[in-house]
């Protein structure tokens, strides 16, 4: 066994194509028009999303070529490193071999630019002058702000209010890149005003921020609407992660028995897992894929599979997926990126078909894992990433109990340098560990439209 700790690739090893797992899943469930409930037309999707991205969204081709200018920008930080977590293994006294692929080396410190850069590129290509989007914890907003600046586009970002207040430096970062960042719900849109009228102190949700961004995009055809997760094309863009990781595991002369990723909208999981999933489907590799979500927003473990909207004002098309209901508002956990009521339809399908498992982890347990990881490996994980670290540690401890040596690969989606206020609260014992009540959940679930309960 090769005992190196860091597995580095060359620029030539950056993939030339994105992998589209929709090709492996058979006939996709149609996306439905929010107005009519009938399958949506391409033209309708193109009203807000750039046409080349709509093509990818609806495609069942196995791969998409990565445009040269996008791959050139990727070279700034890709290939990202993959490490063996030796010190963590020793601290856990586990026979497991733990690896992590680190996406925190991108300019904004997370995986999000893998999709923000191509989305800015395609919008520029079709003549848009600016981008509008929503963001939870601010990772996607800062990635869009940076990508827009690279392609000479404006950027307007609606940031979930609770995160806007908890993470002022994410907002400052967006502004440094030249973007405008609004706290959501905002008085700038009808969707925002409706929420504020009911509750002026509303904490906001990703669903509400989405409604606001979409409303702005519908009103201004020069602006391209972009999404940071869930959609098929976003999942495809992120597969550069898993494709590189497969090469790096070869360098390590190893192959993962278990791959773990954090689960918000599902793009990290998709990016890391889908290349391995294709290996499993086409070559019969025996591998477990695990989605680690917060108990505070348990989409995969307590949600329903149904057609639902992705936003609170019901402007987005209806997709078939796991959902907690578009009215669900999670408790204000700090892992702001994992607050979506819904999930990528492709991840949902993988879970439904038994190709991927889901676990829900508590916030305190995640921060405990994050602190241990920081002390042993030197990297402070983003709170979202800490969910995957927690689930991986639990698997490694199980290996210890059972005396089994398994290879565990973690998708470490970003660093936590903008989340230190949450780490500070955790250390001081002031971080809540909320779980939605049955009533909170029922309220959300009852907002799932009846039209086509799957």
- Positions that interact with ligand PLP (CB under 6 A): 110, 112, 139, 229, 262-268, 337-338, 382, 384-385, 413-414
Distances in whole angstroms, Cα of residue 211 to Cα of each of 137, 166, 215: 17, 22, 6
Q: Give the residue nearest to ligand PLP (CB).
A: 414
Q: How far is the CB of 343 from ligand PLP (least distance, A)?
A: 8
| CB closer to ligand PLP out of 130 and 414 | 414
Query: By three-state DSSP, how is residue 87 classified?
Result: helix
| CB closer to ligand PLP out of 48 and 229 | 229
| CB closer to ligand PLP out of 271 and 406 | 271
| CB closer to ligand PLP out of 94 and 226 | 226
User: Integer distance in angstroms from the first to the last C-alpha of the chain?
Assistant: 48
Query: By three-state DSSP, how is residue 242 classified?
Result: helix
Q: What is the DSSP letter of 263?
A: -
Residue for token pair 């799957």: 454
Residue 107's φ and ψ, nearest 5 degrees, are -55, -35
| CB closer to ligand PLP out of 308 and 384 | 384
| CB closer to ligand PLP out of 124 and 342 | 342
Q: How far is the CB of 268 from ligand PLP (least distance, A)?
A: 3
Distance CA 454, CA 449 (A): 11
Which of 373, 408, 380, 370 is CA-nearest to residue 392?
Answer: 408
Q: How far is the CB of 384 from ligand PLP (least distance, A)?
A: 3
Residue 17's φ and ψ, nearest 5 degrees, are -135, 155
Q: How far is the CB of 272 from ligand PLP (least distance, A)?
A: 9
- CA angle (87, 90, 93) in 5-degree steps: 155
Positive or negative torsion for Cα 124, 130, 132, 135: positive
Q: How far is the CB of 36 from ligand PLP (least distance, A)?
A: 29
Q: How far is the CB of 110 from ligand PLP (least distance, A)?
A: 4
Which of 113, 130, 156, 435 is CA-nearest to residue 296?
Answer: 435
Q: How far is the CB of 12 from ligand PLP (least distance, A)?
A: 27
- For residue 366, how many other CB atoms are within 10 A of its CB? 31
| CB closer to ligand PLP out of 264 and 330 | 264
């Amino acid at each position: 066994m090769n005992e190196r700790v860091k597995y580095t690739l060359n620029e030539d090893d950056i993939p030339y194509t994105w992998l589209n797992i929709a090709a492996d899943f058979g006939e996709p469930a149609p996306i439905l028009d929010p107005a009519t409930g009938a399958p949506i037309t391409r033209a309708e999707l193109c009203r807000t999303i750039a046409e080349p991205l709509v093509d990818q969204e609806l495609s069942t081709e196995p791969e998409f070529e990565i445009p040269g200018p996008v791959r050139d920008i990727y070279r700034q930080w890709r290939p990202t490193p993959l490490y063996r977590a030796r010190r963590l293994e020793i601290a856990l006294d586990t026979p497991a071999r733990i690896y992590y692929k680190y996406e925190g080396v991108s300019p904004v410190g997370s995986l999000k630019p893998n999709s923000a850069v191509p989305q800015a590129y395609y919008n520029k290509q079709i003549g848009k002058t600016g981008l509008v989007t929503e963001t939870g914890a601010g990772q996607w907003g800062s990635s869009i702000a940076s990508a827009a600046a690279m392609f000479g586009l404006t950027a307007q970002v609606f940031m979930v209010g609770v995160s806007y207040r908890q993470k002022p430096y994410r907002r400052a970062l967006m502004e440094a890149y030249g973007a405008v960042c609004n706290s959501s719900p905002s008085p700038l849109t009808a969707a925002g005003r409706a929420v504020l009228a009911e509750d002026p102190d509303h904490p906001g949700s990703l669903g509400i921020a989405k409604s606001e961004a979409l409303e702005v995009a519908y009103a201004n055809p020069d602006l391209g609407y972009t999404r940071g997760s869930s959609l098929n094309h976003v999942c495809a863009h992120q597969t550069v992660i898993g494709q590189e990781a497969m090469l790096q595991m070869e360098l390590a002369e190893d192959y993962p028995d278990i791959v773990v990723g954090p689960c918000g909208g599902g793009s990290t999981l998709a990016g890391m897992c889908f290349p391995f999933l294709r290996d499993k489907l086409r070559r019969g590799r025996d591998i477990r894929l695990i989605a680690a979500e917060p108990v505070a927003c348990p989409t995969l473990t307590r949600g329903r599979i149904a057609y639902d909207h992705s936003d609170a004002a019901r402007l987005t098309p209806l997709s078939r997926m796991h959902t907690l209901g578009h009215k669900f508002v999670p408790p204000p956990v700090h892992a702001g990126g994992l607050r979506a009521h819904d999930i990528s339809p492709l991840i949902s399908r993988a879970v439904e078909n038994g190709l991927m498992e889901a676990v829900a982890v508590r916030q305190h347990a995640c921060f405990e894992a994050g602190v241990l990881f920081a002390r042993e490996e030197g990297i402070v994980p983003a709170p979202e990433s800490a969910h995957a670290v927690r689930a991986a540690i639990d698997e490694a401890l199980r290996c210890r109990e059972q005396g089994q040596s398994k290879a565990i690969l973690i998708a470490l989606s970003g660093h936590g340098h903008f989340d230190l206020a949450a780490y500070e609260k955790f250390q001081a014992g002031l971080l809540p560990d909320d779980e939605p009540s049955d009533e909170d959940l029922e309220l959300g679930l009852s907002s799932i439209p009846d039209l086509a309960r799957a």
